[in-house]
Amino acid sequence: MGAVSAARWRPRLTVIAVLAMWCSSRAGAQSESATTTGIVIVTGQQATTPVPTLMEGAANSVGNQDVADQLFLRLAEMGPKLLTAGDRDFVPALARSWTRRDSTTLVFEIDPRARWHDGVPVTARDVIFTFKRAKNPDLAPRVSELLRQITSVTAEGESRVVFRFARAYAEQFYDATYHVAPIPAHLLDSIPSDSVSRSSFAASPVGSGPYRWVRSVPGQFVELAAVPDFFLGRPKIERVILRTAVEPSARLNLLLSGQADAMDIIPPPSVGRVASDTTLRLIAVPSSTMGYLLFNQRDPKNRARPHSILADSRVRRAITLGLERNQLVQAVFGSHGMVPYGPVSQLLWIRHRSPRAGGPNVSEARRLLAATGWGDSDADGTLDREGRPLRLVLSLPNTSGIRRQMALLIQEQLRRIGVQIEIQQLEFPIYLERRSAGDFDVDFSSVNQDPSPSGLTQSWGCTGGNNVAGYCDRGVDSVMEQAIGGRGDPGEKWIEALTKIEQDAAATFLYAPAFMYAVNRRFRGVTITPQSAWLSLRKWSVSPVPIVGRSH
């Protein structure tokens, strides 16, 4: 009998124990949120090595960059206009002032109040050390390539740093300040450069920024804490948690269930749902993304020969004119999308000076196609010429919901002018492989651009590393050279290059969106910097009204 009643009590005990844990965890969470101010930001990638000069290869990720931007302060930050030419739009950060000595020399004065998180002052030696590591191509191939125009970085005294450049060009200041933030020499010079990524420093980085490293819980979140005596003003938000969820639906769920306060890049179809949540504020942020249809001008099977259909610029222009790009952008991005003029995302400053993108012209498109010999001889709706149909394969990766959606709309639109599009969704690595090999008809490309327009040479210059379609126009090359060199007005030169690319119809430029970010309304003074979402976090504040529980 005793054994039987014990058996009956076991399940009841379990239930009581579970309830006890439940209540205590709720109590724990409540008391916590009432005392310190914190923000939970949901991200898609966890920070693994958020240290400048170590963010190479797979470590060059948004996840790492976001955390590194809080831990490490740059010499100067970009201003709201994101103007990368000259120095007028930059704001002092680690450097409190600068002067230009001659056309190839810049001198920075480091702010004497700047400190590393362990209290040691930031000196010129740190900057020298940083650039020595950053310019080593075996250690940091990506960054050293970006810094190739810098010939030497030397110190004059404790706080003065002198940068010398190979030649005079418009973006010297940008190159000196944007690509890499200084790292502490006194903590790293004793560690051999190839073992830093496995050192204790990398596991718990020490920087000069407004937030310091607290801990990382694998696969879950990274926690940062405000630096109380940060020389540019103590951050009002005490704790910053960057919470990782790889799956986009999980990220949205975290935001909408109240488990997170902020999220970047809300997928466009869900913007409406987030907007209906009154605790969240939606902010439109210009994005570095730009999507376009890249026409392969060479035969995918034999790169020496021109493409049988797309080598003719009139066909390419017809496709551009046959697409109703505004409708495409509206359908996918709502009111915050833009049709770009040339390969320019909303992040590049040159977009403010470029003309508006042209609209559709279906009759002109039809005329151009007819003029190049395409007619519908078998009346099946698809144009043909010499027995061959006007059929093109549109390649895209299966990871991009936006491109998947748009591809279907494009297919429908082009069907109306007699162009048959076959959509080929590929697994991401296969897609990339084919793209770099030039094995495609039309590639649905999407790039994330750096703030500097000089990146355009990679895709649109004759010898550009990313120029997989074989587009080459010497005139465009030379104009881009002049713009980079800073001869004349760089803005004007860039617009000239863009105009020529548009006229050549090298690609159909589809979208340059602004993405919606969401931030809980209890945060005040919120601004989001387009080049790196949470850079201005240290200036935000929290409303004094206490939070009533965590709403779950």
If one asks whether residue 381 binds another protein (CB under 8 A), the answer comes out as no
Measuring CA to CA, how many Å separate 439 from each of 58, 67, 295?
Answer: 25, 37, 11
Other Cβ atoms closer than 10 A to 83: 19
Structure tokens at 31: 């008391």
Choose between 54 and 226: whose C-beta lies nearer to another protein.
54
What separation in angstroms does the CA of 73 have from each of 125, 179, 232, 334, 359?
Answer: 16, 12, 11, 36, 44
Which residue, 102 or 138, is less far from another protein as judged by CB? 138
Under the binding rule (CB under 8 A), the answer on residue 24 touching another protein is yes
Residue 79 near another protein by CB under 8 A: no
Among 21, 91, 166, 168, contact with another protein (rule: CB under 8 A): 21
How far, in Å, CA of 242 to CA of 237, rounded?
13
Least separation in angstroms between CB 236 and another protein:
17
The pattern of x and - marking residues 37 through 56 that bind another protein according to CB under 8 A reads -x-x-------xx----x-x
CB of 50 within 8 A of CB of 67? yes
- Stretches 15-23, 66-74, 481-489, 532-540: which one binds another protein (CB under 8 A)? 15-23
**3 state SS of 261:** coil
**Among residues 254 and 507, whose Cβ is nearest to another protein?**
254
By CB under 8 A, the count of residues binding another protein is: 96
Answer yes or no whether residue 15 interacts with another protein by CB under 8 A: no
Q: Which of 426, 437, 447, 458 is nearest to 509 (CA)?
A: 447
Out of 105, 313, 446, 536, the only residue in the binding site for another protein (CB under 8 A) is 446
* Single residue of 16, 27, 168, 462 touching another protein by CB under 8 A: 27
Smallest distance from another protein to CB 274, Å: 8
Nearest distance from residue 515's CB to another protein, in Å?
14
Stretch that binds another protein, among 111-119, 177-185, 406-414, 502-510 (CB under 8 A): 406-414
By the rule CB under 8 A, 300 interacts with another protein:
no
Single residue of 2, 5, 9, 58 touching another protein by CB under 8 A: 58
If the CB atoms of residues 49 and 70 are measured against another protein, the closer one turns out to be 49
Shortest distance in whole angstroms from residue 270 CB to another protein: 5
**What does the alpha-carbon distance between residue 77 and residue 94 come to, in Å, rounded to a whole number?**
9
Label residue 157 left, alpha or beta by phi (over 0 means left) and psi (-120 to 50 means alpha): left
13 binds another protein (CB under 8 A): no
Q: CA-CA distance, 374 to 371, in Å (whole number)?
A: 7
Toward another protein, which CB reaches closer, 29 or 371?
29
> Given the complex with another protein, which of 369 and 394 has the nearer CB atom?
394
- CA-CA distance, 218 to 534, in Å (whole number)? 22
Q: Is residue 447 involved in binding another protein (CB under 8 A)?
A: yes
Nearest residue to 343 via CA among 140, 138, 480, 154? 480
Nearer to another protein, 374 or 540 (CB): 540
Cα torsion at 95, 97, 101, 104 (round to 10°)? 40
Quick one: which of 378, 412, 422, 492 contacts another protein (CB under 8 A)?
Answer: 412
Binding flag, residue 137, another protein (CB under 8 A) = yes
Determine how many CB atoms are found less than 10 A away from the CB of residue 78.
Answer: 22
33 forms part of the interface with another protein (CB under 8 A): yes
Distance, CA of 51 to CA of 68 (rounded, Å): 6
Among 43, 50, 53, 59, binds another protein (CB under 8 A): 59
The stretch near another protein (CB under 8 A) out of 75-83, 84-92, 136-144, 521-529 is 136-144
Figure out which of the listed residues 120, 331, 393, 472 binds another protein, where binding follows CB under 8 A: 331
With CB under 8 A as the contact rule, which of the stretches 76-84, 227-235, 460-468, 490-498 interacts with another protein? 460-468
**Residue from the set 13, 91, 168, 408 that interacts with another protein by CB under 8 A:** 408
Per CB under 8 A, does 193 bind another protein?
no
Stretch that binds another protein, among 73-81, 149-157, 304-312, 400-408 (CB under 8 A): 400-408
Strand 442-448 relative to strand 391-397, pairing = parallel
Please list the alpha-helical segments (H only) found in 294-400: 313-322, 325-333, 362-371
Separation in Å, CA 409 to CA 285, 293, 295, 397, 420: 25, 13, 18, 16, 13
Which residue from 86, 300, 306, 464 is in contact with another protein, where contact means CB under 8 A? 464
Give the Cα separation of 421 and 407 in Å (integer).
Answer: 9
Q: Looking at residues 488 to 517 of the shown chain, list those that interact with another protein (rule: CB under 8 A).
A: none
**What does the DSSP 8-state code read for residue 208?**
S
Does residue number 133 form part of the binding site for another protein (CB under 8 A)? no
CB of 259 to another protein, least distance (A): 6
Distance CA 543, CA 392 (A): 55
Q: Which of residues 308-327 bind another protein (CB under 8 A)?
A: 327
Is 405 one of the binding residues for another protein (CB under 8 A)?
yes
Nearer to another protein by Cβ, of 306 and 334: the residue is: 334
Cα 11 to Cα 3, 14, 22, 457, distances in angstroms: 14, 5, 17, 69
Q: How far apart are CA 59 and CA 81, in angstroms?
A: 28
